[in-house]
Amino acid sequence: MSHTYARIAELPAHEGQPVTVRAWVTHVRSSGKVAFAVLRDGTGVAQAVFVRAEVGPEVWERFKELTLETSVAITGAVRVDARAPGGVELGVTALEIIGASPIDYPIQPKEHGVDFLLDNRHFWLRSPRQRAIFAIRSEIEQAIHDFFYDRGFLRVDTPILTAAIGERSGLFSTAYFDEGTAYLAQTGQLYGEAAAAAFGKIYTFGPTFRAEKSKTRRHLTEFWMIEPEVAWNDSADNMRLQEDFVAFIVLRCVERRRKELEELGRDMAKLERITTPFHRLDYGDAVALVQQKGSDTKWGDDLGAEDEALIVEDYDKPVFVMNYPKEAKAFYMKENPDDPRTVLCDDLLAPEGYGEMIGGSQREDDYDKLLHRIREEGLDPSAYDWYLDLRKYGTFVHSGFGLGLERTVAWICGLPHIREVIAFPRMMNRLRP
Ligand code: 4AD
Ligand code: MG
């Protein structure tokens, strides 16, 4: 017998015709005369209806073997019915069991603790809520590629095994043949700068690694970062690119993923308000603001998560905090000519207390100043010889930023913890599954 296979989302187009759906069973019930199996295939849910008098004894008996997460191929005629789960039904004529699922399937229709769910992440991903999250994540990733593609950026893939430190946060290292120690990349930026001198406008999109001993709701040890780098952009251009970029991503989700966002209970009005321009706050004013609100952060400190929450609480859009003191930031940021105690940089803070979503800066393009900062940070200049060369041979004004993908997805989805927006999260205490 030949089959027309269809995915559940495609079923309405086959109304009245026989098709075969390959899926997993999420729910069964039987009245003795009629039995139902709810199916899930990643595109939607549909109900298979078994009428005892029509399917024959063999199929009727086989129905009884269906358990939660049995994989099946079910053939039947498509009926569109608003009352059915998923809005479509299959009037079953044939049932093939592809893979049985023992009744001790770990995730049952009841409340489970998050640690249990994370231990069973390989199964947790099958839940409808997880599908909504990953449809949104995937939409965001596609929006990012589209944004840069349409603006003439080249995507450059930078190495993960590196020989030099990029950021101040913790490093993962591994022995690397006769070359000494290799570090897992904390950032692709330094390579992105070399590529920007070659190609003008580039972006990276890849995993980055930080051996951070922080167990917060916004830290992973492995996360994905998008890092554009643009020749001839100064810090003001850089911030305009960031706000255009973030507003573009949010609008894309509002336009194309409303259904999934609503499934997650997201307040859409909050997302619809994310239009350019975003608010801009000088670091000094930000410190004064949080001090007024009771923080004991002093000029010179980096802003902590609590300060960030205090800053954004008065705004309904992301907020830029600009031009931090040198000592609070990485070595590669350009000295601010108007106040050399500070650097030309920005952190973009997400609304609703989601914290820093982007870190960006204009890069130090003066050879001597950069060398001085590398030494000041206690880094070995010989590890940065090639990076310094970019300032020696045709130095150029350039800026870029890094957007943390998981923080962005968590904010757009309105989820409290970033561990749920990456398929297999890596955290201090979690390396499995
Ligand atoms: O501010 P960060 O450290 O900036 C950089 O790495 C620069 N090299 C970027 C650049 O200018 N090209 O990190 C950028 C972003 C943060 O704003 C945050 O969204 C995310 O990366 N991030 C993390 N996300 C999850 N877990 C962690 N441990 C993160 N650390 C940073
Ligand atoms: Mg940062």
Topology given in CATH for the domain delimited by 121-421: BirA Bifunctional Protein; domain 2 (3.30.930)
**How many CB atoms neighbour CB 84 within 10 A?**
18
Q: Which of 296, 301, 303, 244 is nearest to 274 (CA)?
A: 244
CA 377/CA 282 separation, integer angstroms: 24
Query: Distance, CA 228 to ligand 1 centroid (Å)?
Result: 13
With bands split at pLDDT 50, 70 and 90, how would you rate the model's confidence at 39? Answer: very high
Query: Distance, CA 210 to ligand 1 centroid (Å)?
Result: 9
Query: Distance, CA 63 to ligand 1 centroid (Å)?
Result: 51
Residues with Cβ within 6 A of ligand 1?
Answer: 167, 187, 189, 210, 212, 219-220, 223, 225, 227, 356-361, 400-402, 404, 406-407
Output the pLDDT for position 322. Answer: 98
CA distance to 83, 265, 406, per residue, from 262 (Å): 20, 5, 19
Query: Distance, CA 409 to ligand 1 centroid (Å)?
Result: 14
Q: Closest ligand 1 atom, CA of 348?
A: 17
pLDDT surpassing 60 at residue 169: yes
Output the pLDDT for position 152. Answer: 98
Q: Which residue lies with its CA nearest to atom 15 of ligand 1?
A: 404
- Contact at 8 Å (CB) between 12 and 80? yes
pLDDT surpassing 90 at residue 264: yes
Domain boundaries, the chain: 8-99, 121-421
With bands split at pLDDT 50, 70 and 90, how would you rate the model's confidence at 373? Answer: very high
Place of tokens 């015709």: 17
Output the pLDDT for position 1. Answer: 56
Q: Which of 328, 330, 324 is nearest to 344 (CA)?
A: 324
Query: What number does CATH give the domain 8-99?
Result: 2.40.50.140
Could you give the percent of the chain with pLDDT greater than 90?
Answer: 94
CA 195/CA 290 separation, integer angstroms: 39
CA 312/CA 85 separation, integer angstroms: 41
Closest ligand to the CA of 166: 1
At 75-103, the pLDDT tens digits run 999 999 989 888 899 999 999 999 999 99
Output the pLDDT for position 2. Answer: 66
Closest ligand to the CA of 360: 1
Closest ligand to the CA of 324: 2
Task: Provide the mean pLDDT of the chain.
Answer: 96
Output the pLDDT for position 300. Answer: 95
The alpha carbon of residue 417 and the mean position of all alpha carbons in its chain are separated, in whole angstroms, by 12
Q: pTM score, two decimals?
A: 0.96
Q: Closest ligand 1 atom, CA of 360?
A: 11
Q: Which residue lies with its CA nearest to atom 2 of ligand 1?
A: 359
Query: Distance, CA 37 to ligand 1 centroid (Å)?
Result: 45
Q: Which helix (H) or strand (E) holds 230?
A: strand 222-231
**Angle at the Cα of 316 (from 315 to 318), degrees rounded to 5?**
80
Query: Distance, CA 347 to ligand 2 centroid (Å)?
Result: 6
